[in-house]
Structure 1
Amino acid sequence: MQSEAWNGYRKPPSEQKYSEDVGHIHQGLNFEPTREELDSLSKACSRLWELDMNRIVPGKDYIIDCGEGKKVYQKGDMASESLFSWLGDDVLRKPTYSRFCALLDNYNPHQDKHEEIVFVEEIARTSLIKYLHRYLVQKGVVPQDYEDFKKMLTSLWFDLYGRGGNSSCSTAFEHVFVGEIKGPGQGESEPDSEIQLLIVQFEWHGVLKSVSNTLIGVSPKFEVALYTLCFFVGGEDNRVDIGPYSVNVKCYRLGNNKIGSTFPIAEN
């Protein structure tokens, strides 16, 4: 059923149905960042966490099984079951989640560009991305026109560029999301099924990733907004608070206008 829905996302953007624009639903909703938030990247990231209103909830929308945990130096899978032991049927029906999954399905950087455009259009209708836009406009780093901002966001995450000596072989989206979320292993240090920032070890295409930090349960638009914010107004190290978690959002650039890699590292 999901595959049929995802195939529909390949239609021209003008022929697709999107969620109601949050600005139309909540007339007068204030997306303007406060002076405190403009002066503090951490406070702005906390606001993004608050605006992530359709984040999925552990125990209600999904259940993870961390097993007994493991140390980085321990080899092999220390848990007998999959990390996700249950996922609610309606989770992947949520518009931003569904469109995000459509991008992950046999992802190819040369795929139909419609899926990328409509994903950005979907998340751009949410309060979280509207806040991101207002924040970056105040900082003078993105266009004030919202349509131009959406084009910039699409270009930032989906334009092809060279990596590792190869030309036009990668995108920021492919590197950050496709490579980061497949094949997770198990948590380290007192694993907890309620936690939403997990340290994992996994093997992907035969290559072991010994340590990787991953956010569990947050919406796709939250991660896009978080990493975009840090890219435009942060540095390589961005020590911020998101909800109950203190993290260092690492952000590596390729030149001045491309995301090389970005990911969170648990600080506590």
Structure 2
Amino acid sequence: MKYTAILLLLLPCVIYGASLPEPRMTVFAATNDELLNVAEQLYSADVNKAASGDVTLNLQYKASSAQTSSGTDFASQRIFSYVNEAKLFARPTFSRLIALLDNYVKTTGTAESVPSSEITEQNAFVDEIFKTTVFSRLSSFLVSKGYYTSTESFKADLKEMWFGLYTRTKGPLDSSGFEHAFHGEIHGGKISGFHSWVQFYLQEKAGQINYLSYSADGPWTSYPDVYGFQFKWSTYLKTLGSMFVGSSPEYEIAVYTLCYVTRPDSLCTLRAGGQTLKIQTYTWANSSYGNGKRYVASAYPVV
């Protein structure tokens, strides 16, 4: 009798040509090979990156692991000998990024004021990077794997994860993932974050950065490349600041976001120009947005 009842319940579906709904997948995962493949696509699509001659570095002294924590100045000259500002910084994604860099109070503990003009600048930056082939490919990949339902939903989430405010000092809303990674912060008496080569160049040019030495130079012979620098920002020390150099803003935030969405809080292995690239991301666990989603706490290339 029990089986007869089940059959009768299913019978209308057969009679009217309907089919039973397929179970909805709630967890989607990109494989390691898929990440390697899409990362190479992002690397190839970075048409706004620096070309040969657009950036000239003066690396000078390579510090040993024992020397990196000393704060000793081994470099008599700046790290950036030349950057083709007229070419690179005129490009829309670069100019939109630079417009954001004066919006932040670098010392944690002070609430970030975000007037409507700064919201406009944030939206302009996000709109601009989503016009690029880099983000077209990233969006298509994340939607195809089910992390998002559409490019629009991904775009909205990216704004929240990177620009949403939280507190690093158990007080005022003084930080965000974007500020930490692309601007840099002074937290606990030392430099925290600060993984943007554009910010480094501009701060060094303004006399705010004292480059001390380098400890790592990635295997790439063209841009983007990955380096590990030691430097002081004002009087504050960064014993190891890893960052891309020569990459476009859209490429950097794309690879960070790719790893943050698919491999959060872990070492994420990618490929760039045939070479292995490792990205570390961290989520901010003390607060959330939306349906329990987490803000970006940090993201950077590992050297």
Instruction: Give TM-score scaled by structure 2 length.
Output: 0.69
1:189 CA displacement: 5.6
The alignment status of 1:46 with 2:44, answered yes or no, reads no
For residues 202-217 of structure 1, the aligned pairs below 5 Å read: 202-217=231-246
Residues 176 and 295, structure 2, Cα contact 8 Å, conserved in 1 = no
Alignment match of 1:107 (pick from 98, 104, 108) = 104
- Mark the CA change 1:166 to 1:192 in structure 2 (over 3 Å): closer, same or farther: same
Alignment match of 1:257 (pick from 282, 285, 294) = 294
Look up the match of 2:149.
Answer: 143
The alignment status of 1:98 with 2:102, answered yes or no, reads no
For residues 229-268 of structure 1, the aligned pairs below 5 Å read: 229-235=258-264, 236-255=266-285, 256-266=293-303
For residues 62-211 of structure 1, the aligned pairs below 5 Å read: 62-74=55-67, 75=70, 76-88=72-84, 89-108=86-105, 109-111=112-114, 112-144=118-150, 146-179=151-184, 180=194, 181=196, 182=200, 183=209, 184-188=211-215, 196-211=225-240
Structure 1: 5+ residue stretches without partners: 1-35
Whole-Å separation in 2 of the counterparts to 1:87 and 1:257:
36
1:139 CA displacement: 2.0
Residues 228 and 241, structure 2, Cα contact 8 Å, conserved in 1 = yes
Amino acid at match of 1:110: S
Residues 199 and 211, structure 1, Cα contact 8 Å, conserved in 2 = yes
Residue deviations 1:3-51 (CA, integer Å, cap 9, x gap): xxxxxxxxxxxxxxxxxxxxxxxxxxxxxxxxx9885212221211111
* Range that drifts further, 213-222 or 176-185: 176-185
Residues 55 and 82, structure 2, Cα contact 8 Å, conserved in 1 = yes
Residue deviations 1:203-242 (CA, integer Å, cap 9, x gap): 2242211112111000000011101110111141112222
Whole-Å separation in 2 of the counterparts to 1:169 and 1:48:
32
* Range that drifts further, 227-236 or 250-259: 250-259
Query: Identity over the aligned pairs, expressed in percent?
Result: 29
Aligned length: 229
Residues 37 and 43, structure 1, Cα contact 8 Å, conserved in 2 = no
Whole-Å separation in 2 of the counterparts to 1:220 and 1:140:
25
Residues 94 and 248, structure 2, Cα contact 8 Å, conserved in 1 = yes
* Range that drifts further, 127-136 or 202-211: 202-211
- Mark the CA change 1:42 to 1:190 in structure 2 (over 3 Å): closer, same or farther: closer
Residues 219 and 275, structure 2, Cα contact 8 Å, conserved in 1 = no
Residues 197 and 245, structure 1, Cα contact 8 Å, conserved in 2 = no
Whole-Å separation in 1 of the counterparts to 2:61 and 2:167:
40
Residue deviations 1:145-200 (CA, integer Å, cap 9, x gap): x3333222211211111224234211110011111133354322679995621111
Whole-Å separation in 1 of the counterparts to 2:295 and 2:218:
35
Whole-Å separation in 2 of the counterparts to 1:191 and 1:251:
19
1:251 CA displacement: 0.9
1:91 CA displacement: 1.6
Residues 160 and 295, structure 2, Cα contact 8 Å, conserved in 1 = no
RMSD (Å) for aligned C-alpha atoms = 2.5
Amino acid at match of 1:253: T
- Mark the CA change 1:225 to 1:190 in structure 2 (over 3 Å): closer, same or farther: closer
4+ long deviations beyond 3 Å: 36-39, 181-185, 189-195
- Mark the CA change 1:189 to 1:230 in structure 2 (over 3 Å): closer, same or farther: closer
Whole-Å separation in 1 of the counterparts to 2:98 and 2:275:
26
Amino acid at match of 1:46: E
Amino acid at match of 1:135: F
Whole-Å separation in 2 of the counterparts to 1:99 and 1:260:
22
For residues 50-61 of structure 1, the aligned pairs below 5 Å read: 50-58=44-52, 60-61=53-54
Whole-Å separation in 2 of the counterparts to 1:153 and 1:190:
30
Amino acid at match of 1:212: G
Residues 67 and 191, structure 1, Cα contact 8 Å, conserved in 2 = no
Whole-Å separation in 1 of the counterparts to 2:268 and 2:39:
10
Whole-Å separation in 1 of the counterparts to 2:102 and 2:217:
33
